[in-house]
Amino acid sequence: MQTHLPDPRPTATPSREASDHQLPQVSHARNPGMALDMDWVARVQANTSAIERRCDTLGGRRSVKKDYQAAWLLKAISLIDLTTLSGDDTAGRVQRLCAKARHPVRADLLEALGLPELTVGAVCVYHEMVEVAVKALEGSGIPVAAVSTGFPAGLSPFPLRLAEIGESVAAGAAEIDIVISRRHVLTGNWQALYDETREMRAACGPAHMKTILATGELGTLRNVARASLVCMMAGADFIKTSTGKESVNATLPVTLTMLRAIRDYDERTGFKVGYKPAGGISKAKDALLYLSLMKDELGLPWLQPDLFRFGASSLLGDIERQLEHHVTGRYSAANRHAMA
């Protein structure tokens, strides 16, 4: 069965105007959050066997080929948060990553595909590299996202976590990827999770907040579903699976669980919250599965950068290889698609 995707250019999202401190542009009202509703949280359940069964059959029921596949892969590029989060990051590495963000695919391939202008969704770095990335992306309209709040463990003193958010926003980060305190989920202390996330959202100010649940450390899909809901109640603009540093990162069952929570929240409050799978998504075929699941569960509005991102770096290289094969009919080596 072929699934049709509309024109890969993100026309549903207003064009982003360049500025020194690029703020996120959205085509929907920003989620303001709401009071913590413990009755709603307590009612949330997750049928693990049914969720896994649905995900196991996804690949066989959703197949895109040829021009349709190329369109999906071009869409995926526009949704990537191109990321470097290594202890040996340097200004030069971040500048090269930003150059790749501006020109993610070789120009001859984009010309052949009829899409000469294409950029990624954002560049994601540690706080120390925010100013470097902002300067390197000046005039591009590509926002900078900063991981914050004691990333990846989230165990630094809470006042320091809040201060780190403020420093990243002041340095020009338009998006802040915060990490929750996993212990609050594991002990069922939903009030503490809500209060901390709410304060982090306030500290972000105009910058949009992506809330990392670290789902591989939450134990059960029910915990994932409840944590997703509480973070949305606290005002999260996105909910995100992982830091990429856990032993288990983004998976399809976790994704389906979080998408259903987003759908329920939208139906009840009228506010749309974005989704970001991160960690372990390195193949083009995997990106296609996530895109099709997103389209099935939430529909076309969630196939734009203001509501969906991939947290990835190596994914882009594999997508480029697939696009070259589509254009030329020949398989491509990875060294033909350098990161800069």
pTM assigned to the model:
0.91
Q: Is 32 exposed, middle or buried (0-12, 13-18, 19+ CB in 10 A)?
A: exposed
Helix (H, G, I), strand (E, B) or coil at 290: helix
pLDDT value, residue 25: 66
Active site includes 75?
no
Residue in 213, 219, 309, 207 with CA at minimum distance from that of residue 261: 213
Pairing state between β 310-312 and 238-240: unpaired
CA angle 214, 218, 220 (to 5 degrees): 130
Active-site annotation holder among 81, 100, 177, 286:
177
pLDDT value, residue 15: 36
Residue ranges, the chain, pLDDT below 70: 1-25, 62, 338-340
- Residue 73's contacts (CB-CB under 8 Å, 6 or more residues apart) are 284, 287, 288, 319, 322, 323
Per-residue pLDDT tens over the stretch 58-116: 877 767 889 999 999 999 999 999 999 999 999 999 999 999 999 999 999 999 999 88
pLDDT value, residue 26: 74
Active-site annotation holder among 240, 266, 286, 318:
240
Active site includes 177?
yes
Residue in 116, 114, 137 with CA at minimum distance from that of residue 125: 137
72 vs 305: CA distance, rounded Å = 14
Active site includes 7?
no
Q: What CATH homologous superfamily does 38-336 map to?
A: Aldolase class I (3.20.20.70)
- Residue ranges of domains in the chain: 38-336
Tell me if 77 sits within 8 A of 319, measured CB to CB. yes
pLDDT value, residue 9: 39
Residue 145 pairs in a beta bridge with 124, 175
Neighbours of 47 (CB within 10 A): 12
Q: What are phi and psi of 128, to 5 degrees?
A: -60, -25
pLDDT value, residue 331: 81
Task: Supply the DSSP string of 135-156, one letter for each residue.
Answer: HHTTTS---EEEE-SSTTTT-S
Active-site annotation holder among 100, 276, 286, 295:
276
Q: Is 8 exposed, middle or buried (0-12, 13-18, 19+ CB in 10 A)?
A: buried
| Residue 220: alpha-carbon gap to chain centroid | 21
Helix (H, G, I), strand (E, B) or coil at 303: coil
pLDDT value, residue 24: 62
